[in-house]
Amino acid sequence: MSTTAIDTQVALNGALNRNAPLRQSAGVQVTDYENRQTVGKITVDNPKMVCREVNVHYGQKHAIKNVSLDIGANEVIAFIGPSGCGKSTFLRCLNRMNDTIPTARVTGQIKLDDDDIHAKEIDVVQLRARVGMVFQKPNPFPKSIYENVAYGPRIHGMVNTKAELDDLVRESLERAGLIKEVEKRMLEPGTSLSGGQQQRLCIARAIAVNPEVILMDEPCSALDPIATAKIEELIDELRENYTIVIVTHSMQQAARVSQRTAYFHLGDLIEIGDTDQIFTNPRHKLTEDYITGRFG
């Protein structure tokens, strides 16, 4: 009992004991690293993406430390953790968005299906067409609703005729659950929509290029509860066709939409497992502290 109290204190002070005792044990897989463990099973049976020993440095800052995990096909996996824990940074590794930050350096192996995304023969443009992304703040281009969705198919030469493009735009908007609201106003600027509609427009824009994986970086943090509910519903539907990785600050949201959850802390992957298990029965002290609201 006294040990637990001390550990909590240490964790709260930020000087974290990465080898804090597991709450309980039998049959739990633990991956050991130099100075910490990842609790839980990092592998899945049919992985879509496989990440091994991923490290990210921003200049001097070591933002992601030796993170390994699998992302299963057609699953929704949630990354949770306190601010600055590296979950967004890790997400941006998956479609190499960190390439746009001059000081960022990514090492380790990340595979999409069987392709190493850092391999020379992989074109980052192709990769991003396969791994789409939706951002924290809705960022429609200052163009019409139609043009926002048509942007991706156009630059990738996915359609040959205007009619095909029309169909593709309609279909994408339909999948994003936005078609009814914008059918009559396709030529109005995307910025004229409400926040929630803009975010669904961004999702439609992402799925228009027919990606295999969709990365969502806190997609609901700028939205009201009703718009959030719509997006969450949409994520659940999209799972049928896509693999989705979502970063969220809302633990309820992670619990509602995801099948697996990964808990990050100061650049370390602390615990990963089925969402049900993580939220009902966290095995690592830090995970438990975070989801019970003791810090974060």
Partner 1 sequence: MQPLLLLTLLLLSVGAYHLGRKRAFAVAGGQIRNLHSLPGFYGFYAALWCGLPALAVLALWAIAQPGILVNWVVAGLPPELQNLPPDRLNLVVNDLKNLVSGNFVSSASDPVMVEAANRYRQLRAIGNAALWVAVLSFAIGGIAYAWRAISPALRARNRVEGIINLFLIASSTVAIFTTIGIVLSVVFESLLFFRQVPVSEFLFGLQWSPQTALRADQVGSSGAFGAAPLFAGTLLISGIAMLVAVPIGLMSALYLSEYATPKFRAFAKPALEILAGIPTVVYGFFAALTVAPLIREIGAAVGLHVASESALAAGLVMGIMIIPFVSSLSDDVINAVPQSMRDGSYALGATKSETITRVLLPAALPGIVGSILLAVSRAIGETMIVVMAAGLSANLTANPLEAVTTVTVQIVTLLTGDQEFDSPKTLAAFALGLVLFAVTLILNIIALRVVRKYREQYE
Site for partner 1, rule CB under 8 A: 95, 97, 100, 102, 125-129, 132-133, 135, 137, 139-143, 151-152, 155-156, 191, 202, 205-206, 209
Smaller CB separation from partner 1, 193 or 209: 209
Q: Quote the least distance from Cβ 235 to partner 1, whole Å.
A: 17
| Residue in this structure with the two tokens 């933002």, named with its chain if needed | 63
Smaller CB separation from partner 1, 40 or 152: 152
Smaller CB separation from partner 1, 127 or 269: 127
> What are the CA-CA distances from residue 170 to residues 47, 157, 162, 200 (Å)?
31, 17, 12, 13
| Angle (CA) 84 7 90, round 5° | 25
Smaller CB separation from partner 1, 12 or 155: 155
Q: Using N-to-C axis directions, what is the helix angle for 195-207 and 145-155, rounded to 10°?
A: 20
Q: Strand (E) positions, the chain? A: 30-32, 37-39, 47-58, 61-72, 76-80, 104-112, 115-116, 131-134, 213-217, 243-247, 260-265, 268-274
Q: Quote the least distance from Cβ 266 to partner 1, whole Å.
A: 25
Q: Quote the least distance from Cβ 178 to partner 1, whole Å.
A: 16
Q: How many CB atoms lie within 10 A of CB 143?
A: 15
Q: Quote the least distance from Cβ 129 to partner 1, whole Å.
A: 4
Nearest to residue 271, comparing CAs of 90, 30, 15, 12? 30
Q: Quote the least distance from Cβ 143 to partner 1, whole Å.
A: 7
Smaller CB separation from partner 1, 102 or 293: 102
